[in-house]
């Protein structure tokens, strides 16, 4: 079994899967399951990967070689790759200031970074640490209008011009590993406490000297003695809006003066409704297999959604991206870009900013190579043929 010791361990990883292997060895068991687990039987979690495997690539030969063009225009801005860092919550469990590390890694490569409502670095901390970040913000709708209005005002004030409303998590999915690992909310079982003691490196890079981080975006709404992980978890459970509707989204569209995306779309009719409301984009996602188990893979839902919404708003896809060829397939089937969640979190868990950057570089290199070997040097000129109702070929 390989062991990793140096601060540049991440450089030994030649794939996202190898970064995941390193992260699993480094993290305590409860943190690894939080990062990598899905809901219930994890059927959807597995389908997200299987869907990419079932899309075949049909290369052309004797195509004169040139450097592939992977540029993509998203909301009027050209970026070098069709990638965005996805919003992911409580990243400070993986590495101290993980959100800042992710923002820096994305910004260095000219890519947007999305901050979660339940992040462990605040909007203000991100912008202070990474002044030139292309910051997107993911909103969990709040039942307290004062809290929601303040979150929106803060996002606007720090220069965020893209807001993602997440609608597929008004209640958390049945994540059984969470019940196993915690005897009470944010209170580890004895077995997991003992496991943490076996991870001194993780303790140094995550807990020392202040303990488990809070959800920094929410701290100002909490009593002083509850500004900790348990207090924030209780707050978000009590204050998250559970009665979302299209009327709510229409009001948010009127309130938010910048780009607004709906995150949680899997049905073509929902995509059509988003178009009618004048949204700027949608994210086709099953929340990484962490919500309702047994739903289709995000990629399997993409073609039908693209049929009704392509060209009318921007379409992004997340869940299951582990290879550069996955990005190629998503773009071919109708996505304008992909959101990266676990792939970059494996990297940040292993090597902070440099590890996250390595994950992005691996995917970029694989995407360039896949386009070259496909004989299609331009990401925007991919062709798709349907092999059956469920399988496609890309050339």
The catalytic position among 287, 358, 368, 381 is 287
Note whether residue 189 is domain-resident.
no
Q: What is the CATH number of the domain that holds 152?
A: 3.20.20.70
The pLDDT score that the predictor gives to residue 178 is: 80
Number of structural domains the chain divides into: 1
d(CA 31, CA 53): 28
Q: Is residue 294 part of a domain?
A: yes
- 70 occurs within a structural domain: yes
What pLDDT is stored for residue 282 in this prediction?
98
Q: What pLDDT does residue 4 have?
A: 40
pLDDT score for 7: 64
Measured distance CA(389)–CA(395) in Å, rounded: 18
- Per-residue pLDDT tens over the stretch 79-97: 999 999 999 999 999 999 9
Dihedrals φ, ψ of 26, to 5°?
-85, -35
The rounded average pLDDT for each run of 10 residues, N- to C-terminus, in the chain (395 residues) is 56 96 96 96 97 94 90 94 97 97 98 98 98 98 95 98 95 87 78 92 90 92 87 87 94 97 98 98 97 97 97 97 98 97 98 97 98 92 78 75
pLDDT computed for residue 369 by the predictor: 96
Backbone angles phi, psi at 5, to 5 degrees: -130, -40
Q: What is the pLDDT of residue 6?
A: 47
Q: Is the dihedral of CA 246, 249, 255, 257 positive or negative?
A: negative
Q: Is 287 a catalytic residue?
A: yes
Helices (H), the chain: 16-26, 29-36, 43-53, 98-108, 123-129, 145-157, 176-181, 190-197, 200-202, 229-239, 246-255, 268-276, 298-309, 324-332, 342-374
Q: How many CB atoms lie within 10 A of CB 146?
A: 9
Residue 187 lies in a domain: no
Return the pLDDT at 208: 87
Instruction: Quote the pLDDT of residue 391.
Output: 65
212 within a domain of the structure (yes/no): no
**Domain assignment of residue 87, yes or no:** yes
SS3 19: helix
Query: What whole-number distance in Å separates Cα of residue 325 and Cα of residue 279?
Result: 29
Location of structure tokens 């009318």: 312
User: Is 162 part of a structural domain of the chain?
Assistant: yes
Q: Tell me which residue range forms the domain holding 95.
A: 9-176+237-394
Q: Give the per-residue pLDDT at 163.
A: 98
Report the relative pairing of strands 72-74 and 56-57 from DSSP bridges: unpaired
């Amino acid at each position: 079994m390989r062991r990793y010791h140096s601060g540049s361990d991440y450089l030994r990883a030649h794939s996202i899967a190898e970064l995941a292997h390193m992260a699993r060895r480094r993290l305590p068991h409860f943190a690894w399951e939080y990062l990598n687990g899905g809901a219930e039987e994890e059927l959807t979690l597995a389908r997200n990967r299987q869907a990419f495997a079932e899309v075949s690539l049909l290369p052309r030969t004797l195509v004169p070689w040139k450097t592939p063009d992977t540029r993509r225009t998203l909301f009027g801005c050209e970026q070098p790759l069709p990638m965005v860092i996805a919003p992911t919550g409580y990243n400070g469990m993986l590495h101290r200031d993980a959100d800042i590390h992710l923002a820096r890694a994305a910004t260095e490569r000219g890519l947007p970074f999305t901050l979660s409502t339940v992040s462990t670095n605040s909007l203000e901390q991100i912008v202070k640490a990474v002044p030139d970040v292309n910051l997107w913000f993911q909103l969990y709708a709040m039942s307290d209008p004062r809290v929601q209005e303040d979150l929106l005002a803060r996002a606007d004030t720090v220069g965020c011009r893209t807001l993602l409303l997440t609608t597929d998590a008004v209640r958390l999915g049945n994540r059984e590993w969470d019940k196993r690992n915690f005897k009470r909310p944010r209170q580890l079982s004895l077995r997991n406490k003992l496991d943490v003691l076996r991870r001194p490196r993780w303790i140094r890079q995550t807990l020392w000297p202040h303990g488990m981080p809070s959800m920094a975006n929410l701290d100002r709404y909490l009593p002083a003695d509850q500004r900790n992980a348990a207090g924030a978890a209780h707050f978000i459970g009590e204050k998250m809006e559970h009665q979302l509707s299209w009327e709510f989204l229409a009001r948010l569209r009127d309130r938010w003066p910048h780009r607004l995306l709906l995150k949680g779309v899997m049905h073509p009719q929902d995509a059509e409704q988003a178009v009618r409301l004048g949204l700027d984009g949608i994210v086709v996602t099953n929340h990484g297999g962490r919500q309702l188990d047994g739903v289709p893979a995000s990629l399997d839902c993409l073609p039908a959604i693209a049929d009704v919404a392509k060209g009318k708003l921007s379409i992004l896809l997340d869940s299951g991206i582990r290879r550069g060829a996955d990005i190629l397939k998503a773009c071919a089937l109708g996505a304008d870009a992909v959101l990266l969640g676990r792939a970059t979190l494996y990297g940040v868990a292993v090597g902070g900013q440099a590890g996250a950057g390595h994950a992005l570089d691996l995917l970029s290199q694989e995407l360039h190579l896949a386009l070259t070997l496909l004989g299609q040097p331009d990401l925007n000129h991919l062709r798709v043929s349907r092999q059956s109702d469920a399988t496609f070929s890309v050339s």
